Chains A and B, each alone.
Chain A
Amino acid sequence: MNKIVSKEYFSENVIKFEVEAPLIARSRKAGHFVMVKVGAKGERIPLTIADADTSKGTITLVVQRMGVSSSKLAQLNEGDEITDLVGPLGQATHIENFGTVVCACGGVGTAPMLPIVAALKAAGNRVITVLAARTHNLIILEEQMKKNSDEVIVMTDDGSYGNKGLVTKGVEDVINREKVDMCVTIGPAVMMKFVSELTKKYEIPTVASLNTIMVDGTGMCGACRVSVGGRTKFVCVDGPEFDAHQVDFDEMLMRLGGYRDIEREEMERFTCKTDSKH
Chain B
Amino acid sequence: MRNIKEERNEAWRADLRAQIKVKERMMAPRIHMPEQDAMERSHNNKEVNLGLTAEQAIVEARRCIDCPDPTCMKGCPVSIYIPGFIKQIETGNFLEAAKVLKETSALPAVCGRVCPQEKQCEAECIYVRSGKEPVAIGHLERFAADFERESGQISVPEVAPANGVKIAVVGSGPAGLSFAGDMAKLGYDVTVFEALHEIGGVLKYGIPEFRLPNNIVDVEIDNLRAMGVKFITNCIIGKTLTIDDLKEDGFKGVFVGSGAGLPRFMSIKGENLVGVMSSNEYLTRVNLMDAASDDSDTPVFLGKRVAVIGGGNTAMDSVRTAIRLGAERAMIVYRRSEEEMPARKEEIKHAKEEGIEFMNLRSPIEFIGNAQGRVTHMVLQVMELGEPDASGRRSPVEVPGETETIEVDEVIVSVGVSPNPLIPSTVGGLKISKWGTIEVNQDTMQSDIPMIFAGGDIVRGGATVILAMGDGRKAAANMHAWISN
Q: Which residues of A contact B (CB under 8 A)?
A: 23-24, 27, 37, 39, 41-44, 68-69, 72, 83-89, 215-216, 218-223, 225-227, 232, 237, 251, 254-255, 257-259, 262-263, 266
Contact = CB atoms under 8 A, between A and B. Distances in A.
Given A69-B297, A88-B239, A41 B290 contact: yes
A251 B367 CA distance: 14
B265 interface: yes
A218 B195 contact: yes
A43 B263 CA distance: 21
A262 B299 contact: yes
B372 A254 contact: yes
B233 A84 contact: yes
Nearest to A263: B299
Contacts of A262: 299
B397 interface: no
A266 B295 CA distance: 10
Interface in B289-343: 289-290, 293, 295-299
B411 to A, nearest CB: 13
B240 A219 contact: no
Contacts of A39: 297
Interface string B273-303: 1110110110011000110010111110000
Contacts of A258: 274-275, 373-374
**Among A83, A220, A223, A255, which residue has the most Cβ atoms of chain B within 10 A?**
A220
21 contacts: A23-B240, A41-B295, A83-B197, A84-B233, A86-B195, A86-B197, A87-B236, A215-B285, A216-B284, A219-B261, A219-B422, A220-B284, A220-B420, A222-B263, A222-B265, A226-B272, A232-B267, A251-B373, A254-B273, A257-B372, A258-B275
Contact of B281 (A68, A221, A257): A221
Interface of B: 195-197, 233-236, 239-242, 261-263, 265, 267, 271-275, 277-278, 280-281, 284-285, 289-290, 293, 295-299, 372-374, 420-422
Nearest to A42: B297
A220 B271 CA distance: 17
A219 B280 CA distance: 10
A233 B310 CA distance: 22
Contact of B277 (A216, A219, A222): A222
A236 B242 CA distance: 19
A84 B234 contact: yes
B284 A86 contact: no
Interface secondary structure of A, over-half rule: mixed
A39 B275 CA distance: 27
Given A259-B299, A266-B297, 12 more contacts: A23-B241, A39-B297, A41-B295, A44-B298, A218-B195, A219-B261, A219-B421, A220-B284, A222-B277, A254-B274, A258-B374, A263-B299
A226 B299 CA distance: 20
A266 to B, nearest CB: 7
Contact of A43 (B234, B265, B297): B297
A244 B307 CA distance: 33
B297 A223 contact: no
Nearest to A234: B262
A43 B297 CA distance: 5
B261 A218 contact: yes
Given A44-B289, A221-B278, A222-B278, A232 B196 contact: no
B465 to A, nearest CB: 18
A222 B275 contact: no
A255 B197 contact: no
Given A254-B373, A255-B373, A220 B197 contact: no
Contacts of A232: 265, 267, 271-272
Contacts of B285: 215
Contacts of B297: 39, 41-43, 68-69, 72, 266
Contacts of B239: 27, 87-89
Contacts of A223: 277, 281
Contact of B234 (A27, A85, A222): A85
A84 B273 CA distance: 30
A210 to B, nearest CB: 13
Nearest to B295: A41
Nearest to A225: B272
B235 A215 contact: no
Contacts of B293: 41
A231 to B, nearest CB: 9
B241 to A, nearest CB: 6
Nearest to A250: B373
Contacts of B298: 43-44, 215
B299 A86 contact: no
A89 to B, nearest CB: 7
A142 B285 CA distance: 37
Shortest 9 CB-CB contacts between residues of A and residues of B: A254-B373, A221-B281, A43-B297, A86-B234, A258-B274, A262-B299, A220-B261, A84-B197, A222-B278
Contacts of B271: 232
Nearest to B290: A41
Nearest to A88: B239
A225 B276 CA distance: 11
B372 to A, nearest CB: 7
**Among A83, A85, A88, A262, which residue has the most Cβ atoms of chain B within 10 A?**
A262
B480 to A, nearest CB: 29
A88 B263 CA distance: 21
B363 to A, nearest CB: 19
